[in-house]
Structure formats: C-alpha cells, structure tokens
Structure 1
Amino acid sequence: MEWLTAPFEVSFVQRALWGGILVSLICALAGTWVVLRGMAFLGDAMAHGMLPGVALASLLGGNLLIGAALSATAMALGVTAAARTARLSQDTGIGLLFVGMLSLGVIIVSRSQSFAVDLTGFLFGDVLAVQNSHLTQLAVALGLALVVSVVGHRAFVALAFDERKAQTLGLHPRLAQIALLGLLTLAIVASFHVVGTLLVFGLLIAPPAAALPWARRIPLIMIGAAGFGISATFLGLLLSWHLATAAGATIAAVAVLQFLLSTVAAGIRHRFEFGHSS
C-alpha cells in the first residue's frame, strides 16, 4: 500500500493528480466528439497550432495561457476558412496549417536562449509543476466545457451522424461546428500545462477511443473516457515516481496502453459472443 500511496503524500504530486483529473474530465467531453466525428487529425493539428502563441508569450514574458488561447483561436479560424475553400480539401488545408504553425513556433522558440528547455516544456508539459492557480483555471475551463456540451449536445449529435439532417432540423450545423471547434480549443488550451502541446493529443483521443467499444450512448462514452483518463493519470504519476520517467509522457503512454488493452478485450468479447451465439 505504501508503494501506491507514498507519491501522493507529496504536495506537488497531489496537485499534479488533481490537474490530471480535471484535464481528463475536460478531454472526455471534447475528445468524445473528436473520436465520433473522426476529427483526430484536426485535434492533433490544433494541439500543435498552440505552439507559436505559447512560444511568443514566453519570449515576451507574457501569460502562456493567453498566448495559447490566441494561437489556438487563430488555428481554429484558419481551419474554418480552409473548410470553405472549394478547391482545397479540408485535410490538405489542415495539414498546411499544422506544418506552418508548428514551424512558426519552433522559429520563435529558437530566438530564446533556453531553446531546448523551452521547447521540451512546450511539447511535453510539466505536470509536476502545476500550481493552485492552474487548478483554478482548469476548474473554470471544466465548467465552460460542461455548459457548451450540455447546450450543444443535440446539435453535436446531429452533426456527428447526419449533417444534412441537422440542417433540416434547424440545428445550424455551421454554428454547431464552430461551437465544437471552440470546445476542442478550450480542452487543448486548458490541458497543455499538464501534458504539453504534443501529448495532450493522448488524453484527448485515447480515453474516448478506449471507452467506445463498451458504451452505446454518448454520455456513457464520456463517463468511460473520464474514467480511463483519471486512471491513466493516477497510474502514470505512480509509475513516473517509481521509475523516474517523464510524468506527462508516462501519463500519455498509459492512456494509449489502455486503448490497446481495451481494443483487444473488446475483440475477445466479440469473438466469444459471436461463437456462443452461433
């Protein structure tokens, strides 16, 4: 028991755990829609699109959260504009924005004297450096994510499964798409302190994907994703403490491992049920 509890008696690990729990809840709300709509590439691009704003804020001594929010918003606007360009596929537009924003971020970071340290922190985060102010910000972000998820649920469902039907039902699919991009932006910006701009993708995608084979209703997928995310945070911090590995990367690795185990278990269950019924 001491092996399990000893790390969490340290104050900065406790804050890291609470930060990871809040991030897991936010990512469960946004990531479920990303998985259901097949927006994984967009989510990855959005996560990398934050880098220029974070790097510029760091270079100028500004607020990293504000820099991340401005950069992610610019990325979201760029994605929306690319989707309206008839002669350019959405994937192509997103890919170009992805590379452009990432390159700009690296160029800005290279202007800093602590290039390697800054870039590592931006990409991989520092969950063990989470402060009480970060927890407050995450709690506010979770509240906003809940409001957007509840208010936009019906429109998001229609958008995920039949965009034309959403239009006929008067659910304003374009507005719903903007709201969904806003929810995704909120999740990514709120989470980068914990796992960085690179690994936030792990908590955004892996837990909902792991929960998907075990739930038929969207709220249940979100609850399952939250459970997977929280357990990945706990196990990741525990392993990181005892193995002396990078905490954010270990959390993301555990989340991906959970997805792989869930997929294998779901496949075994399907074969058993199919064989039993036949």
Structure 2
Amino acid sequence: MAIFDDFFMRALVAGIGFALVTGPLGCFIVWRRMAYFGDTMAHSALLGVALSFVFNLNLMVGVIAVALMVSVALLVLEKRQSLSADALLGILSHSTLALGLVIVSIMSSVRIDLMGLLFGDILAVTTADIQMVYGLGAIVLAVLIFFWRPLVAATVNVELAQAENMKPQRSRFVLMILLALLIAIAMKIVGILLITALLIIPAATARRFALTPEIMAVLASVLGVVAVIGGLYGSLHYDTPSGPSIVVAALVIFLISLVPKNLFGAKNQPVEARHD
C-alpha cells in the first residue's frame, strides 16, 4: 500500500497500534501500583537483547524469555519474604539493566544500536514491524479481554477473587506475560527506558475522568493515540527525538487534565480498583 511507502506514516500507524494496547494494560499498572514492576520488566529487555545475540536467538524470543524469568524470580523471592517487594524490584531492575549493558559492551563482534534500544526509533519501523505490532497487539488485547473479569476482581480484592475461584495468582502471571509481550513490541517504538511512561501516563490521565474500569481502559487507549500523533508531529516540527516526544506529549495531556479540577473544582470520582 502507498501509505506504507512513507516513513512518517509507518511511524504513525505503528505508534497508534502500540497505544491501543498500552491503554488497557496500563490501567492495571496504575490500579495495582505496579509502576516499579513495569520498569523492572522494561529494564530486563536489554538483558534479553544481549542474551539473544549471545545464543543466536530471535530478539523477541530472548526478550520475552528474560522478562518471564524475572517475573518468576520475583514471585519466588516474594514468597521467601526476606526482602520487601520494592527492594526486590530495585535489585532485579538495576541488575538486569547493568548485566545487559555489560554483555553488550563485551560483544565487540556485534554492532548494537544501544540508543535505539534505550529510547526507540519509531521512524525506522518497517511494514513487517507494523504487522508484528498489530498481530501481537491483537493477541494481547484478546487475552486481556478473556481474563478481564478475574484480573479486575484480583485487583480489587484478592481474598474475594480466591473465594470465587478466580485464581488471582494465575491472573497476576497472565498480566506479567502480557507485559513481557508488550515490552517486546515496544522496544523499537519508544525504547526500553520510556515503555513504562507510555503505560502509566495515559492511564493515569484517563483515571481522572472515567467512572468504570472499562471506560478508563478505552479512554487510556484514546489518550495514548493522541499522544502518539501529537508527539510525532511535534518531533517532525521541532526536530526532536520521536520516542521521548511521544512521552512528552502524553505528559502535556496529563497536565492539561489537571486544569479543570483546579479551576472549576470538578467533583468527578475517578475509577479506583485497588489491590488490598
């Protein structure tokens, strides 16, 4: 198609597809207060990339495998209760990032675009990348819709979810798998260091206006799409990095969302799905 002959249009199409997936998934990150976990998963992606080159694996396979190993390690270490969850996340987050950087630095025979991995290069996406974004994105959304009720129930109240046989531990692991898939999709678009920002900011903005979890998920996707479009056009106009520009656009939307409440005292009660 002619639309995919232009690099900017490819970037727009890929970014919109990514934003549609980050919206609903980001809602669970916000509800469960898992921002630091999102960072840990994102940082582990660099180790996945490095190990993919070491063992001659597909990059996506390596990233997903390492993200899942980190998730399992966190679940096992949490059960031992020797350290708090935030301490464990800090250790895993910085250790995987540092280990990935060390492995990349000693692989002199392999040229890796480290800045591209860390901050993304959405303007370099190909038609194959777009197909991957929409293909894997559709899988993530389908699984999320299928597990929506047990995921929300486990987020609101773990004991109630257990009483209703909704298996909250399984729901949590499903959420981790979906995050791993999303990170594999996102590396080329916004980069490892900015993935969590695009997950959290649109969802946090949507939470201020939505009255139900479903509305919040849809609104988060819409706001993510607006951030992608605004960020890319801002990047084109001001000649700024595309990935960070998208995150800045999302931040601007969030700051604008604060204005009505401050000026007019809006009393809309944001949707709250707390993990007790």
TM-score (norm 2): 0.89
Aligned length: 266
Q: Distance in 1 between matches of 2:194 and 2:111?
A: 17
Determine whether 1:174 maps to 2:169: yes
Which residue of the partner structure matches residue 272 of structure 2? none
Determine whether 1:251 maps to 2:246: yes
Are the structure 2 counterparts of residues 75 and 268 from structure 1 closer, same or farther at C-alpha, using a change threshold of 3 Å? farther
Q: Distance in 1 between matches of 2:112 and 2:180?
A: 25
Paired amino acid for 1:172: K
Deviation at 1:64, TM superposition (A): 2.1
Q: Distance in 2 between matches of 1:169 and 1:267?
A: 41
Kindly report which structure 2 residues correspond to 1:95-110, keeping only aligned pairs within 5 A, or say none.
95-110=90-105
Q: Distance in 2 between matches of 1:10 and 1:210?
A: 34
Q: Distance in 2 between matches of 1:75 and 1:193?
A: 21
Which residue of the partner structure matches residue 3 of structure 1? none
Which residue of the partner structure matches residue 106 of structure 2? 111
Deviation at 1:157, TM superposition (A): 1.1
**Percent of counterpart pairs with the same letter?**
33
Which residue of the partner structure matches residue 271 of structure 2? none
Q: 2:61 aligns with which of 57, 62, 66?
A: 66
Which residue of the partner structure matches residue 229 of structure 1? 224
Contact kept? 1:51, 1:105, Cα under 8 Å: yes
Deviation at 1:91, TM superposition (A): 1.3
- Greater shift after overlay, 151-160 or 110-119? 110-119
Q: Distance in 1 between matches of 2:96 and 2:84?
A: 18
Q: What are the superposed Cα offsets for residues 175-201 of structure 1, whole Å, 9 maximum, x if unpaired?
A: 111111112222222111100111111
Determine whether 1:41 maps to 2:36: yes
Q: Unpaired runs of 5+ in structure 2?
A: 269-276
Contact kept? 2:19, 2:221, Cα under 8 Å: yes
Paired amino acid for 2:140: A
Deviation at 1:93, TM superposition (A): 1.2
Deviation at 1:116, TM superposition (A): 9.8
Which residue of the partner structure matches residue 274 of structure 2? none
Q: 1:150 aligns with which of 122, 145, 155?
A: 145
Which residue of the partner structure matches residue 255 of structure 2? 260
Are the structure 2 counterparts of residues 115 and 35 from structure 1 closer, same or farther at C-alpha, using a change threshold of 3 Å? farther
Q: 2:78 aligns with which of 54, 78, 83?
A: 83
Are the structure 2 counterparts of residues 167 and 52 from structure 1 closer, same or farther at C-alpha, using a change threshold of 3 Å? same
Kindly report which structure 2 residues correspond to 1:7-46, keeping only aligned pairs within 5 A, or say none.
11-46=6-41
Q: What are the superposed Cα offsets for residues 110-135 of structure 1, whole Å, 9 maximum, x if unpaired?
A: 12449996221111011011111111
